[in-house]
Chain A
């Protein structure tokens, strides 16, 4: 069974630029999550989707971050404009029952 796929794996941008990350969850997983992991910290939930509906986006900085999950499968997370403090690994996960499966993450560096 293929795991959660994410791209790109690495991205370097300048502050005030825009960036987008893509996630393809495990086939059949209805729930999808985006987490932000800053260096030295644990992952922090940004947004949770159930199919193509948002379940929880309370920690998403909505002035600059947006996410969508069209057709309830793939998802994209966008940052516009990026700030230095957005440098982090962005992890996508999908779940079935009581277990979340994480992708390898996208490491974003904002200079």
Chain B
């Protein structure tokens, strides 16, 4: 039973446009959400996070939105750059922030086209 779902295996976006990656979760106990970025042959690297007490968090070109009632979060990248091409994982935890064991989605492969 997947508790964190990323329903788009891949997404293609033109350079300079907005990339929107979506994530849904089923476990209402999740209270901390994170996005990780992964390049081939490397481990995931932390990108941005959001606590359930907020509905938006922004860091440069990256913004995460959380809709608790819909159990949905999204990552917006504006503007998209070629270096953003990677697999993006949505992750969630219960009670421990980002230092607790994480439950990951399957990932979305973002391809930025020139």
Question: Which residues on the B side are within 8 Å of A42 (C-beta)?
Answer: 4, 6, 89, 91, 104-107
In Å, the complex CA distance between A36 and B90 comes to: 16
B83 within 8 A of A: no
Question: Which residues on the B side are within 8 Å of A91 (C-beta)?
Answer: 43-44
A102 within 8 A of B: yes
Instruction: Give the size of the chain A interface in residues (CB under 8 angstroms).
Output: 25
A72 within 8 A of B: no
Stretch of B13-21, B66-74, B93-101 contacting A (4+ beta carbons < 8 Å):
B93-101
Q: Give the contact-size bracket for chain B.
A: 20 to 34
Question: Which residues on the A side are within 8 Å of B32 (C-beta)?
Answer: 98
A99 within 8 A of B: yes
* A43–B89 CB distance below 8 A: yes
CB B8 to nearest CB in A, in angstroms, measures 14
Interface of A is mostly: strand
8 Å CB interface, A31-46 against B: 31, 33, 40-45
* B42–A104 CB distance below 8 A: yes
9 further contact pairs, Cβ within 8 A, besides A4-B43, A97-B97:
A43-B89, A43-B104, A44-B104, A45-B101, A95-B99, A100-B102, A101-B45, A102-B43, A103-B43
Q: Which 9 A-B pairs have the closest CB atoms?
A: A42-B104, A102-B43, A98-B98, A45-B101, A98-B97, A95-B99, A48-B101, A102-B44, A99-B46
Query: Hey, which bits of chain B sit against chain A, CB under 8 A?
Result: 4, 6, 32, 36, 41-46, 49, 89, 91, 97-107
A-B contact pairs, 23 of them (CB 8 A): A4-B43, A31-B99, A33-B101, A41-B106, A42-B89, A42-B104, A42-B107, A43-B102, A45-B101, A45-B103, A48-B101, A55-B101, A98-B49, A99-B46, A99-B49, A100-B102, A101-B45, A102-B36, A102-B44, A102-B45, A103-B43, A104-B42, A104-B43
